[in-house]
């Protein structure tokens, strides 16, 4: 059994919010707006997982109209999604993700994000990248931050 899932998310950058990416709080003057902690990277990963499982999207499972998810730590929601992966008899083979942000510089924080995600996903093959858009578009204008994620799931661990 082999499945691939793709996820995308974007959140608006605003004042007076923490900037949380991959479960790590990043010191910055702006943060992401959202009902939960607005961890756009983790949301993209959760959508990739629900996609691979054929279970729709995270908006369906964790609606932003539900007060239960107000201020929710996205890594905890990711653990719930991982329970569905396990229930399906699958494991995460690999994750590849890209964060799109003009600022701040994310490279120094990527190793810590990666560690968090290795633990959450139970996968060794976790790759996190960050890029700017050279000032173009909503990410380039620093109106928001976006993230893309691709995951593969297999019936058993594949060593490579
Ligand atoms: Mg989101």
Per-residue pLDDT of the chain (160 residues; tens, 9 = 90+): 899 999 999 999 999 999 999 999 999 999 999 999 999 999 999 999 999 999 999 888 888 888 888 888 999 999 999 999 999 999 999 999 999 999 999 999 999 999 999 999 999 999 999 999 999 999 999 999 999 999 999 997 555 5
Position 25 in a domain: yes
Position 146 in a domain: yes
Task: Indicate the burial class of 10 (C-beta count within 10 angstroms; 0-12, 13-18, 19 or more).
Answer: middle
Instruction: Report the separation in Å between the CA atom of 9 and the middle of ligand 1, taken as the mean of its atom positions.
Output: 5
Q: What is the pLDDT, as a whole number, of residue 72?
A: 86
Instruction: Report the separation in Å between the CA atom of 157 and the middle of ligand 1, taken as the mean of its atom positions.
Output: 29
Position 160 in a domain: no
Position 110 in a domain: yes
Indicate which CATH number applies to the domain containing 149: 3.30.1330.50
Q: Is 66 annotated as a binding residue?
A: yes
Q: What is the pLDDT, as a whole number, of residue 157?
A: 58
Q: How far is CA 144 from CA 5, 31, 62, 79, 96, in A?
A: 24, 9, 21, 25, 21
Q: What is the pLDDT, as a whole number, of residue 159?
A: 58
Position 128 in a domain: yes
Instruction: Report the separation in Å between the CA atom of 119 and the middle of ligand 1, taken as the mean of its atom positions.
Output: 21
Q: Which residues pair with 96 in a beta bridge?
A: 127, 150
Position 58 in a domain: yes
DSSP one-letter string for 49-104: HHHHHT---HHHHS-TT-GGGTT--HHHHHHHHHHHHHHTT-EEEEEEEEEE-SSS
Q: Is 35 annotated as a binding residue?
A: yes
Position 97 in a domain: yes
Q: Quote the domain boundaries for residue 77.
A: 2-155
Instruction: Report the separation in Å between the CA atom of 160 and the middle of ligand 1, taken as the mean of its atom positions.
Output: 32
Enter the pTM of the model: 0.95
Q: Domain total for the chain?
A: 1
Position 48 in a domain: yes
């Amino acid at each position: 059994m082999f499945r691939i899932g793709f996820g995308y998310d974007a959140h608006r950058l605003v004042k007076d919010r923490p900037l949380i990416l991959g479960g790590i709080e990043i010191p910055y003057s702006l943060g992401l707006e959202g009902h939960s902690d607005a961890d756009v990277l983790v949301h993209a990963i959760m959508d990739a997982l629900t996609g691979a499982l054929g279970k729709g999207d995270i908006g369906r499972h964790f609606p932003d109209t539900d007060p239960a998810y107000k201020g929710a730590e996205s890594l905890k929601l990711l653990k719930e999604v991982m329970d569905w992966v396990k229930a399906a008899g699958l494991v995460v083979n690999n994750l590849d993700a890209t964060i799109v942000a003009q600022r701040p510089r994310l490279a120094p924080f990527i190793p810590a994000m990666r560690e968090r995600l290795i633990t959450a996903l139970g996968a060794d093959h976790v790759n996190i990248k960050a890029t700017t858009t050279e000032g173009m578009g909503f990410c380039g204008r620093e109106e928001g931050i976006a993230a893309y994620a691709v995951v593969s799931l297999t019936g058993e661990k594949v060593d490579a």
